Amino acid sequence: MFAATAIRGDAFEIPPTMRAWVLGGPDELALIEKPVPDPGRCEVLVRVDAVAICATDLEIIKHGLPAMVEGRPPFNKQFTIGHEYMGTIVKLGPSVDEFRIGDRIAVEIHAGCGRCPRCREGMYTSCLNYGFPSKGHRANGFTTDGGFAEYAVNNVNTLVHVPDEMPDEEATLIVTAGTAMYGLDVLGGLIASEGVVVTGPGPIGLMGVAIAKALGADPVILTGTRDRRLEIGRTLGADAVVNIRNEDPVAAVSRITGGKGVQYVLECSGAAAALDEAARMVTRGGRICLAAFPHEPVSVDLAYIVRNNIYVFGIRGEGKSATHRAAALMKQKRFDASLIHTHTFSLRELPTAIKYARERIEDAIKVVVKVH
Amino acid sequence: MFAATAIRGDAFEIPPTMRAWVLGGPDELALIEKPVPDPGRCEVLVRVDAVAICATDLEIIKHGLPAMVEGRPPFNKQFTIGHEYMGTIVKLGPSVDEFRIGDRIAVEIHAGCGRCPRCREGMYTSCLNYGFPSKGHRANGFTTDGGFAEYAVNNVNTLVHVPDEMPDEEATLIVTAGTAMYGLDVLGGLIASEGVVVTGPGPIGLMGVAIAKALGADPVILTGTRDRRLEIGRTLGADAVVNIRNEDPVAAVSRITGGKGVQYVLECSGAAAALDEAARMVTRGGRICLAAFPHEPVSVDLAYIVRNNIYVFGIRGEGKSATHRAAALMKQKRFDASLIHTHTFSLRELPTAIKYARERIEDAIKVVVKVH
Amino acid sequence: MFAATAIRGDAFEIPPTMRAWVLGGPDELALIEKPVPDPGRCEVLVRVDAVAICATDLEIIKHGLPAMVEGRPPFNKQFTIGHEYMGTIVKLGPSVDEFRIGDRIAVEIHAGCGRCPRCREGMYTSCLNYGFPSKGHRANGFTTDGGFAEYAVNNVNTLVHVPDEMPDEEATLIVTAGTAMYGLDVLGGLIASEGVVVTGPGPIGLMGVAIAKALGADPVILTGTRDRRLEIGRTLGADAVVNIRNEDPVAAVSRITGGKGVQYVLECSGAAAALDEAARMVTRGGRICLAAFPHEPVSVDLAYIVRNNIYVFGIRGEGKSATHRAAALMKQKRFDASLIHTHTFSLRELPTAIKYARERIEDAIKVVVKVH
Amino acid sequence: MFAATAIRGDAFEIPPTMRAWVLGGPDELALIEKPVPDPGRCEVLVRVDAVAICATDLEIIKHGLPAMVEGRPPFNKQFTIGHEYMGTIVKLGPSVDEFRIGDRIAVEIHAGCGRCPRCREGMYTSCLNYGFPSKGHRANGFTTDGGFAEYAVNNVNTLVHVPDEMPDEEATLIVTAGTAMYGLDVLGGLIASEGVVVTGPGPIGLMGVAIAKALGADPVILTGTRDRRLEIGRTLGADAVVNIRNEDPVAAVSRITGGKGVQYVLECSGAAAALDEAARMVTRGGRICLAAFPHEPVSVDLAYIVRNNIYVFGIRGEGKSATHRAAALMKQKRFDASLIHTHTFSLRELPTAIKYARERIEDAIKVVVKVH
């Protein structure tokens, strides 16, 4: 393994090739030697220091890349997944002066094309050229090579500074926290003093709890099925937790809020009944952000949503620069994101890491692969 | 019938009692003599000149008042429905100087309580005291007496000036147009140059077409099942119409927009498949306003909504002062709302008027009852 | 002095008269005996427990009430000022069930009329009926009797719950913090990770520092002339402070931000050069909130503002329910507001309290009058 | 002159060199032969068909380029100004499929860098890399070569389709209308039924009148000093015009609105007193957009702005894709923009054209140079 010198501003020695995991057929991953990519205009080369496994990674490994990717068969034996990575900038592409060699950074997933109407209005996660790298779009680990490798190229507009004192493992969680932050942003942003229910104590849900509380929401209520996860939610700031195996979640929210309900629900469970339940947790005029979804169509009581003037926001990823906001809160130690980091493996051990993540071995939440 | 003198500023002679239709049991309406109400603080007495029949009126006649109304059994034999009315101000309550005796006005449905958090943030149609007149909430014809009567009391904050040259019948359509305007407002408001699909050529849908075009949307596409209604939509400004009996609406929108899709859908059909279809009509990051709804829960592909970052806005009525905006466009003759007015009856003929509206006799769209 | 029993829900014994300070001629205050007012619809009677002195109080004492107040000569010998008060609810007006007897509350200044277009859109601090109590508008201590008295009446929509464990003195600061919060809200609300300069370490400025930091702004920079105040700012969360007697504030902000500037300035100094300087502190597209102002017209370089696409928001008070958000952060102990509370006096000692506040004796910041 | 064949989709014959005006010293323009530029990634080559003269062009000719432009001395004898151009796409750069050869287009001025925080939030006219073409920023005719030439290169994200039936001269006005539209957008967008004052009947002001009326504002009031311009404003939709040589503009607005004032002012005069006057034209909580500015600092009564909760928006150019909205209204013939087009000259006659524009010979408003 190449051992980079850590002095900021200094040149790093960059090898011609690197180890990288690539996707073969469904559930086939291979560790191969690939050329280290070269950063283009507006890009940097990142030495990947750590990368976390996301549920979406597991989906891609099983089902291949999103069908929408330009000219790319799902299993092409060359593609490297992994979008929750952080690392050290080791080379700057032409025109880049926003960062210096040696800077530690985490990465947003999406670099929009910058030319379509959505990017032009700042909604780069909804880029109309999604899946077309030739048009300038990039979604790390989805449509362009990701982070389960020693090096990766990325756009400067997706980079977030990692403070010196933050461990690599914790920094991989910045993008997860950024997604939760984005969910709260689209709900309106001014959440202090308002009730927020987070449904589903997965990584995004738990970060949602932490951020909602850090921004002053009151009460923050977390619902889920596993007591241990709910306990972590409580440590991260939940004022109340509800194990829905024991209590109906709508009744519980009513009970906790004295019959009033909450203004906002951040839905992170993907459960079939989640939207109908969320609608009954909010007050008239309430808002719901869907950050997860059931894979099959589900029954929804739209009449209830219309009659109660409810807004429902589907979100994809971590837009509106929310990742910077999440990183700022983490830098200021407003919550301990590392509580959701449970396991660490080496790059070589990725298959084991995936197994832990997929089967939730030892109640794994965030499994991190330490690369350098 | 009391014949009011029409000179503005002059006093009107107000009789002690009036004729008013009241709701008995389901589908039972009776024309009785009731006391003319007296306007309180912030209120005026309106001589009802004309009132249109809305689909919601038909619902209430059949099923009774919304269950949410404070201390009010559904069929109490005293309640007068009717919310799409216009008339002439004949008496001012204490402190009212915003209007003068003799002013012609149309009315928004909702006067919020002004004291709950929703009203405090300007979302008065989502008033948390909905159905509690004792708290100051009023929804004409829903929770407080409405317009199928010779006189009605209303709050000053719900009144919209009707220009001298606008006929009474047309003025009853202001609140319908206001609902369509509100739907376009919540979608973002800046719709010029953007594609808008309106699904369902009922009164709100047709007004949605007219307003979307008046504000510069391009293209405006209307979908429906009845050619005659679609033709009216075309006259009101639709660039394209789609009869969904002949063509799949999603395919048609794709065809018309050259495969691009639209930014916005204003859903006015209440069809079971409408939301799923709307989601496939919009581009990534598109927005859908639900101004109608199926009465039973329906299957919705939430995964598609989340993956495509789609926002869905359920709306109830005509908030955000949209009615004023609609009235301004009508005053400026940006579209001919009277195209959707098809029939007129007298107050005594209300049962016939209802029959026309309910059974769509002679393809009735808006049936107006002329009171004075 | 009437000693109320503190048991929530119980009835309080309310005397027929009370002691209240009233405004005579300029700089003339008299402690008189007045009838205890009776709460009307939507109102409560508050036993004033504590009230802080605001710079605006000093203005009113000297110059009389705002000229805009309906039919009210500036010095009418009956008017009680004081808007930063908190207390205990001792009587509920008709229809009030939002609060219970015994609840501790702080008060927003402004209850809008609820009937004008501004109130209708949620901008109640810009009520077009400002100064017309007959239309339903209330600005405590400005246009309706305020808190330098044993009792005061207030609208339910202006009340904010005070948590049990928060001392009376600290609770008087909720509205000050609410004003700072509102200033940050109008700037956009999503301030985490963004640079914020607060100019002027008065009470609102210091609360602005605390809230900006609590919400994750980075860096938060405070400018001022008095080192002791700047030190308090640092304790409340400022990452950097600038004594403008020693360093040019624009140069200092450039130095601290590595030449980048900040996104937001919350201007609380009222200095003549403050807007021009603020414009040079923000990046292109930056935003400035004016929460203070120079009393005379000043020179402004508008060309700079236009060329750099800068937005300037003048704010009056504490709108958009910001006071609730501020109270939530204080309840959660995100910052220690009591750092700006420096002196306490009894109701009888108001003249001394005013002297301390006006002359900044012993570097007084917030002087609180403890009433009960 | 190269005569292009007009058949869409066909190849155009592109000469190696072209005639172009370049800026020498102050007030020195020379017509030289330059190489025709080649479009890069995301770019197209435009055959300039027509280009209008803007007041800013006159500024640049006299004072040189904005000081902020990267490594570019103000008068370098190579730079071609001109930003209000339209033309025909004759060549596509790599990856471009948004347009076809032969498409007629108008151009926005600003292509943001796409990588800075402002571009990332959709505020591309406030790009933090303004003046740095090496970072990807482009402001046609300001920081990159403009339209007083036979050909020009442009980014695809700045292009707006010109409908077939719109004459070249009218199409040059799209960007002017786009700036007015942007001004109304930042004021809130929902202007139907609201009063709007436009101060200053220059090209942007007159387009502001037309768009405000097209979107339903009521009343639209135009103030200025020249009756002929005011008359054009009336033809474009102003409900009232005020010659400020005859009547105080604040008093006039009060008179016209029955003492109420308006919600919005679009300031296009750059007069010294304009902001203070605008503040007194709006109601409490009103909003003012500054689209023009006095060149020297002026006296401003900030106390009035703060006390009345007024927001002031400085804007630079035509952001938020407003140009598309303006083009859509023009395509739909909502107003006749050509009323402000007064003179046409050939490319060779640019000096005469400039003289007409600068000296307002024959009351010139928009002077257009027809290139092809």
User: For residue D59, what are its two tokens?
Assistant: 């500024």
Burial annotation D73-100 (CB, 10 A radius, 16+ → b, else e): eebeeebbbbbbbbbbbbbbbebbebbe
pLDDT over 60 (residue B353): yes
pLDDT tens per residue across span A225-278: 999 999 999 999 999 999 999 999 999 999 999 999 999 999 999 999 999 999
| Contact indicator for D302, C293 with CB cutoff of 8 Å | yes
User: What is the pLDDT confidence band of residue D121, given thresholds at 50, 70 and 90?
Assistant: very high
Q: Are residues C96 and C204 in the same domain?
A: no
Average pLDDT in the D51-74 region?
80
Residues in chain C, overall count: 372
Q: Are residues D72 and D151 in the same domain?
A: yes
ipTM: 0.95
Nearest chain B CA: its distance from A12 CA (Å): 39
Instruction: Report the pLDDT value the prediction gives residue D25, as an integer from 0 to 100.
Output: 82
Q: Are residues B210 and B343 in the same domain?
A: no
| Out of A74-78, A96-100, A141-145, A348-352, least confident range | A74-78
- 133-152 in B: which are within 8 Å (CB) of D? none
Q: Cis omega (within 30 of 0) on the bond before C219?
A: yes
The answer to whether residue D122 neighbours chain B at the CB level (below 8 Å) is no
Instruction: Report the pLDDT value the prediction gives residue C73, as an integer from 0 to 100.
Output: 54
Burial annotation D115-136 (CB, 10 A radius, 16+ → b, else e): bbbbbbbbbbbbbbbbbbbebb
Q: Are residues A212 and A124 in the same domain?
A: no
User: For residue B237, what are its two tokens?
Assistant: 């400004």
Neighbours of B296 (CB within 10 A): 10
Range of the domain at D101: 17-162+336-370
Interface test with A, best of D120, D137, D155 (most A CBs within 10 A): D120
pLDDT tens per residue across span C214-236: 999 999 999 999 999 999 999 99
Query: What's the whole-model pTM score?
Result: 0.96
C-alpha torsion D152→D157→D158→D159, nearest 10:
80
Neighbours of C228 (CB within 10 A): 11
User: Which residue, B218, B263, B221, B262, is CA-closest to B241?
Assistant: B221
Instruction: Report the pLDDT value the prediction gives residue B196, as an integer from 0 to 100.
Output: 98
| Residues of chain D contacting B210 with CB distance shorter than 8 Å | none
The answer to whether residue B218 neighbours chain D at the CB level (below 8 Å) is yes
C167 in a domain, yes or no?
A: no
B323 in a domain, yes or no?
A: no
Instruction: Report the pLDDT value the prediction gives residue A3, as an integer from 0 to 100.
Output: 37
Q: Are residues A29 and A156 in the same domain?
A: yes
| Residues of chain C contacting D297 with CB distance shorter than 8 Å | 276, 299-303
User: Which residue, A183, A162, D25, C272, is CA-closest to B306?
Assistant: A183
Chain D residue with minimal CA distance to B328? Answer: D193
| Residues of chain B contacting D217 with CB distance shorter than 8 Å | 328
Q: Are residues A52 and A129 in the same domain?
A: yes
Q: Are residues D108 and D154 in the same domain?
A: yes
Q: How many Å apart are CA A193 and CA A218, to the nearest integer? A: 5
| Residues of chain C contacting A215 with CB distance shorter than 8 Å | 192, 215-216
The answer to whether residue C272 neighbours chain D at the CB level (below 8 Å) is no
A10 in a domain, yes or no?
A: no
C322 in a domain, yes or no?
A: no
Query: Comparing B25 with C73, which gets the higher pLDDT?
Result: B25
User: What is the pLDDT confidence band of residue C19, given thresholds at 50, 70 and 90?
Assistant: very high
**Domain CATH code at residue C157:** 3.90.180.10
The answer to whether residue B302 neighbours chain A at the CB level (below 8 Å) is yes
| Residues of chain B contacting A284 with CB distance shorter than 8 Å | 118, 126-128, 130
| Contact indicator for A31, A21 with CB cutoff of 8 Å | yes
Which of A95, A124, A134 has the CB atom closest to D120's CB atom? A124
| Contact indicator for D340, D207 with CB cutoff of 8 Å | yes
User: For residue D124, what are its two tokens?
Assistant: 């591309």
| Percent of chain B whose predicted confidence (pLDDT) is above 90 | 87
User: Which residue, B127, C370, C352, D132, is CA-closest to A95?
Assistant: D132
Q: How many domains does chain D have?
A: 2
Do β-strands D196-199 and D240-243 pair in parallel, antiparallel, or remain unpaired? unpaired
Q: What is the mean pLDDT of chain C?
A: 93
The answer to whether residue B219 neighbours chain C at the CB level (below 8 Å) is no
| Percent of chain B whose predicted confidence (pLDDT) is above 70 | 94
Q: Are residues B79 and B143 in the same domain?
A: yes
User: What is the pLDDT confidence band of residue D67, given thresholds at 50, 70 and 90?
Assistant: low
Question: Do the Cβ atoms of D284 and C313 come within 8 Å?
Answer: no
Instruction: Report the pLDDT value the prediction gives residue A63, as an integer from 0 to 100.
Output: 84
Q: How many Å apart are CA D220 and CA D239, to the nearest integer? A: 5
- CA atoms in the 13 A half-sphere facing the CB of B51: 35
User: For residue A140, what are its two tokens?
Assistant: 């790390």
Question: Do the Cβ atoms of B276 and A283 come within 8 Å?
Answer: no
Distance between alpha carbon B14 and the CA centroid of its chain, in Å? 29
- CA atoms in the 13 A half-sphere facing the CB of B148: 30
| Residues of chain B contacting D190 with CB distance shorter than 8 Å | 185, 189, 320, 325
| Contact indicator for D150, D85 with CB cutoff of 8 Å | no
The answer to whether residue C122 neighbours chain A at the CB level (below 8 Å) is no
Which of B118, B284, B315 has the CB atom closest to A126's CB atom? B284
What lies within 8 Å, CB to CB, of C92 at 6+ separation is: C39, C44, C45, C99, C100, C101
User: What is the pLDDT confidence band of residue D65, given thresholds at 50, 70 and 90?
Assistant: confident
Average pLDDT in the B271-292 region?
98
| Residues of chain C contacting B120 with CB distance shorter than 8 Å | 122, 124, 157, 321
Instruction: Report the pLDDT value the prediction gives residue C77, as an integer from 0 to 100.
Output: 73
Which of B275, B308, B319 has the CB atom closest to A302's CB atom? B275
Neighbours of D66 (CB within 10 A): 17
pLDDT over 70 (residue B67): no
| Residues of chain A contacting C213 with CB distance shorter than 8 Å | 332
A1 in a domain, yes or no?
A: no
User: For residue C137, what are its two tokens?
Assistant: 């508008």
Q: What is the mean pLDDT of chain B?
A: 93
D123 in a domain, yes or no?
A: yes
User: Which residue, C301, C259, C256, C296, is CA-closest to C277?
Assistant: C301
Chains that touch A (3 or more CB pairs under 8 A): B, C, D
Question: Do the Cβ atoms of C321 and B134 come within 8 Å?
Answer: no
Taking each helix axis from N to C end, the angle separating C203-214 and C322-331, rounded to the nearest 10 degrees, works out to 70
Q: Are residues A149 and A216 in the same domain?
A: no
Nearest chain D CA: its distance from B234 CA (Å): 15
pLDDT over 80 (residue D331): yes
The answer to whether residue D98 neighbours chain B at the CB level (below 8 Å) is no
D206 in a domain, yes or no?
A: yes
Q: How many Å apart are CA A167 and CA A337, to the nearest integer? A: 11
Chains that touch B (3 or more CB pairs under 8 A): A, C, D
C354 in a domain, yes or no?
A: yes
Q: Are residues C94 and C219 in the same domain?
A: no
Q: Cis omega (within 30 of 0) on the bond before C73?
A: no
| Contact indicator for C345, C323 with CB cutoff of 8 Å | no
Do β-strands B17-23 and B311-314 pair in parallel, antiparallel, or remain unpaired? unpaired
Which of B127, B300, B316 has the CB atom closest to A298's CB atom? B300
Q: How many Å apart are CA C87 and CA C96, to the nearest integer? A: 17
Which of D95, D98, D156 has the CB atom closest to A134's CB atom? D95
Nearest chain B CA: its distance from D339 CA (Å): 20
Question: Do the Cβ atoms of D95 and A155 come within 8 Å?
Answer: no
pLDDT tens per residue across span B165-189: 999 999 999 999 999 999 999 998 7
Q: Are residues A202 and A276 in the same domain?
A: yes
Nearest chain C CA: its distance from D138 CA (Å): 16
Q: Are residues C107 and C234 in the same domain?
A: no
Question: Do the Cβ atoms of A190 and C320 come within 8 Å?
Answer: yes
The answer to whether residue C215 neighbours chain A at the CB level (below 8 Å) is yes
Q: Cis omega (within 30 of 0) on the bond before D219?
A: yes
Instruction: Report the pLDDT value the prediction gives residue D4, as an integer from 0 to 100.
Output: 41
**Domain CATH code at residue D191:** 3.40.50.720
